[in-house]
Chains A and B, each alone.
Chain A
Amino acid sequence: MDDDEAIARSLDGDLAAYEALVARYSALAHRTAYMLGAGDEAEDVVQEAFVKAFRHLASFRRDAPFRPWLLRIVANETHNLTRSRGRRAELALRLGATADVAAPDDPEGTAVATDRRTRLLAAVRALPERERQAVVCRYFLQLSEAETAQVLDWPVGTVKSSTHRGLARLREEVGNEFA
């Protein structure tokens, strides 16, 4: 069952079809909410976003891709949450356990890489909000410029300039030894 079929069946009231759609995008939705600042409240945000997406499914244009439409709702919900908390969205990103696995034949190289990753992550966290959002969408969520524009509801030009500025700042912060 592809997205379109799942959506068609959901519109007919088939909740099992919608359940399949939710399961399909659950991980990405959590990742998006979490990385855009929902932090530990990502679960609440994601559930709410899926409920709202279902209620508004009739307004979804069927020839458009579902993924960015859904992520836009997730981003909206995240935004509402962070705004209601009245402070800058937290970006409590942590490297997973796999990030520190050492290459046994090159402990020094591993240590350098780990240190650089940690510094790069800290630099992403410290970016101004817009630049951080652009960088998170483009690289951490691997969205295209057009998808990022849709998810964040910005013009593509803003995505481009924010990404560019963010990259420049990161480069300044950690250098660009791989360029």
Chain B
Amino acid sequence: MSSREPFEDGLEAELLALGELIDVPAPPPTDVAAAVRARLESTPGPSSDPATPAPDVDHVPDDTPASGDMPGSGGTPGPDPAHGPYSTPVRPARSRPPGRRDDGRRPARRSRRRRWTIVAAVVAVVIAITAATPQGRAAVARILRFAGIELQVSETTPPPVTTTASLPGERTVSLPEVQSLARFEVKMPSGLGRPSNASVADNGRVVSLFWPGGVRLDQFDGAIDPIFFKKLAPPFLDFVKVGPYQAFWLGGEHPLGYIKREDGTEVPLRQAAATLIWHQDTINYRLEGVRTKEEAIRIATSLQ
């Protein structure tokens, strides 16, 4: 740690010493290494998996944080593997570390594991919010996560968003430019004709195509971690299919926002029109502004 600044303060020295005394349960490193390897072996990496077109390889400068002083500034997002390609939830048997506590918090561990399993099956994830509901979310009965979108389902209709905001770093680009600025392969729905407009946001993570009449198709990478959030109340959605893929049809207007992941704060975007959401391979899609479910599914199926 050559970059370490000298500590002159007694409290700082005390904290350093205290840190050394803190007990952190961890399995043996070789077990972790073996478990990680088992997962990697069972799910080929981007370089060898044609279904996963290594979205980051073309964007090395954008994806790699400066090792210098200001990784959070200058618009570079830093690496974002926490929102990377879909990974199949292979959970090899792992040995428990000896003497590990079992203090009743295992249900939480299980729910996280279950989350993986369910995402793999391309079914919505339901996380019941029980006790300890945080302030401001008291009205949220449950959260579903699907296709990179967090659906916050309330008992009562959430108040509409009356303002509009754009996505972080969103800018209009020409159609030919879109692909070179996106982190993934951009698809066009042949069922809609040529878009009138296109934009790229959040350093290529989100691509939006626009058609007259308020129709838009957002495409974004990452199948597991939510990027957008929507607030809904029952009857909030229909489970439908886009070809072989599971999809959700949200038939009514609803508040839409973006979860800005760097610090977890939510960015309210606008009151969204009816939307179809689904994911194919590692990319998520939301098609907004098409009036009927059948028409939205027809357009979604024409994606190529």
Contact = CB atoms under 8 A, between A and B. Distances in A.
Interface of A: 13, 15-16, 18-20, 22-24, 26-27, 30-31, 34-35, 39-44, 46-56, 58-61, 63-65, 68-69, 72-73, 76-77, 79-81, 83-88, 93-99, 117, 120-121, 124, 135, 138-142, 144-147, 149-150, 153-156, 158, 167, 170-171, 176-179
A154 B64 CA distance: 15
A4 B210 CA distance: 44
B65 A87 contact: no
Given A59-B63, A76-B81, A86-B143, A150 B15 contact: no
Given A52-B81, A73-B81, A79-B264, A58 B26 contact: no
A34 B19 CA distance: 12
B105 A39 contact: yes
Contacts of B81: 49, 52-53, 55-56, 59, 73, 76
Contact of A144 (B5, B14, B54, B137): B5
21 contacts: A13-B47, A13-B48, A30-B24, A39-B105, A47-B39, A48-B87, A54-B36, A55-B81, A56-B56, A64-B65, A64-B66, A72-B65, A79-B82, A80-B82, A83-B264, A86-B137, A95-B22, A135-B15, A145-B5, A167-B12, A170-B15
A41 B264 CA distance: 19
B18 A140 contact: yes
B3 to A, nearest CB: 4
Interface in B1-57: 1, 3-5, 9-16, 18-19, 21-27, 29-30, 32-37, 39-41, 43, 45-48, 54, 56-57
A126 to B, nearest CB: 14
10 closest pairs, A vs B, by CB? A178-B10, A76-B82, A96-B23, A140-B19, A64-B67, A30-B26, A139-B15, A52-B81, A26-B29, A61-B64
Size class of the contact patch on chain B: 35 or more
Given A144-B4, A155-B73, A15 B37 contact: yes
Interface in B81-124: 81-85, 87, 94, 101, 103, 105-106, 108-109, 112-113, 115
Given A48-B87, A58-B47, A142-B16, 5 more contacts: A16-B37, A55-B87, A56-B56, A140-B18, A146-B68
B21 A117 contact: yes
Interface of B: 1, 3-5, 9-16, 18-19, 21-27, 29-30, 32-37, 39-41, 43, 45-48, 54, 56-57, 59-60, 63-73, 78-85, 87, 94, 101, 103, 105-106, 108-109, 112-113, 115, 127, 129, 132-134, 137, 143, 145, 225, 261-264
Given A23-B32, A54-B36, A179-B9, A59 B79 contact: yes
B29 A23 contact: yes
Contacts of A72: 65, 71, 78-79
Nearest to A85: B108
A19 B179 CA distance: 35
Contact of B24 (A34, A83, A158): A34
Greatest chain B CB density within 10 A among A59, A145, A176 is at: A59
